[in-house]
Amino acid sequence: MVKVRFLTTRGEVIETSGEAGDNLLRVGQAAGLPLEGTCEGQMACSTCHVIVDPEWFDRLSEASEDEEDMLDLAAGVRRTSRLSCQIELTDDLDGLSVSVPAEAHDMRRF
Ligand code: FES
């Protein structure tokens, strides 16, 4: 299992886990996080935006140009922002830590 930790906008820590090969967006959604993922991984929405802990950012495979372009349109982008639908869990990512950007939580539970 690959453990993942999500930090919500309220400062809550949600620990969950997935299998190697799982998509971070799906893992977050399964844990009840407010990640819309409207386009279901087609890189056409940016509603799956997460901010990766800087310690982990460089360990992820690099974002494609299409992902970078889409991130330019996302609200609250930071240097370590990524589209969670483009992150595939691997055993090396055990302990991965990401935050949900504030903009993603409007009108939501978290
Ligand atoms: Fe739309 Fe990730 S789900 S870009």
| Angstrom distance (rounded) from CA 22 to CA 88 | 6
Could you give the domains of the chain?
2-103 (3.10.20.30)
How sure is the predictor about 103, in pLDDT bands with cuts at 50, 70 and 90? low
Structure tokens at 70: 């889409």
pLDDT tens for 32-91 read 999 999 999 999 999 999 999 999 999 999 999 999 999 998 988 999 999 999 999 999
Mean pLDDT of 5-12: 94
- Is the CB of 23 inside a 6 Å radius of any atom of ligand 1? no
Is ligand 1 within 6 A of the CB of residue 43? yes
Q: Is the pLDDT of residue 107 over 60?
A: no
Return the pLDDT at 75.
85
pTM of the model: 0.91
Ligand 1 centroid to 41 CA: how many Å?
A: 4
Q: Is 54 helix (H, G, I), strand (E, B) or coil?
A: helix
